Amino acid sequence: MTARIGVVTFPGSLDDRDTQRAIRVAGAEPVALWHKDKDLKQVDAVVLCGGFSYGDYLRAGAIARFSPVMDTVIDQAKAGLPVLGICNGFQILTEAHLLPGGMLGNDHLHFICRDQKLRVENADTAWTTDYEAGQEIHIPLKNMDGRYVADQRTLDELEAEGRVAFRYVDFNPNGSLNDIAGITNEAGNVVGLMPHPEHAVESLIGTGRTDGLPFFTSILKKLVNA
């Protein structure tokens, strides 16, 4: 038996196929989910992938957050369904208020695409148990609106509760406060980050390493052992 992990496709999603492939490489079964369909097809977890859902009109993730599929994702995430938001998926999770804070344009006003070094700060979430806390990884980063912002109270709370899951190392690519690359909700089932682990699961492509694969093996182990 393996786990079934849903990947939502919105109009403008770019990385749905790569995400499905990463899930398959990890040994789980990817299930395609459609933005207009409330039905999650009884998946065990959901990934909101990268891209420019609904053209990023209004704000990145703002329109996707009100799509039919998100009604169900929001309800079930609150009930414990593991949800990972990558890049645009992270933006959607903040717009849906499943994660605190918000995402704004990079402080240098340019699109950025690079191999990015991150530190895994929290290895206890549903998506990070196959990492060691403090481990440094290289995965691709590519975005326009990657600047994480939140008010000071929220930042203090995230830091105090160990909910900064990933932090940029050596170089802050977008002006994110506290070098935040990704965060988790209190329960650890909802995680969002800007860089792209799904592009770093095979040594042939991406950063030439498989540093992103543990995201998908972590959730698989959690679901299969559950």
Partner 1 sequence: MARVVVDVMLKPEILDPQGQAVQRALPRLGFEGISDVRQGKRFELEVDGPVDEAALARINDLAESFLANTVIEDFTVRVEEVAEAAK
Chain residues binding partner 1 by CB under 8 A are 58-59, 62, 66, 94-95, 97, 100-102, 104-109, 149-151, 175
Q: Both tokens of residue 175?
A: 């002006």
For partner 1, the closer CB: 107 or 124: 107
Q: Which residues contact 38 (CB under 8 A, 6 or more apart)?
A: 68, 69, 71, 72
Query: Is 49 a catalytic site residue?
Result: no
Q: Which residues contact 219 (CB under 8 A, 6 or more apart)?
A: 3, 5, 28, 45, 82, 84, 126, 127
Query: Is 196 a catalytic site residue?
Result: yes
How far apart CA 91 and CA 148 sit, in angstroms, is: 9
Cβ–Cβ under 8 Å, residues 104 and 90: no
Ramachandran angles phi, psi of 224, nearest 5°: -75, -35
Q: Both tokens of residue 54?
A: 């609904």
Hey, what amino acid is at 168? Y
Ramachandran angles phi, psi of 10, nearest 5°: -105, 160
CB of 17 to partner 1, least distance (A): 29
For partner 1, the closer CB: 1 or 109: 109
Active-site annotation holder among 49, 87, 121, 199? 87
How far apart CA 164 and CA 169 sit, in angstroms, is: 13
For partner 1, the closer CB: 100 or 195: 100
Place of tokens 């990015």: 116
Q: Both tokens of residue 13?
A: 């999603």
How far apart CA 4 and CA 105 sit, in angstroms, is: 34
For partner 1, the closer CB: 28 or 92: 92
For partner 1, the closer CB: 83 or 150: 150
Q: Count each helix (H run) and each strand (E run) in the chain, helices first.
A: 5, 11
> Active-site residue numbers?
87, 196, 198
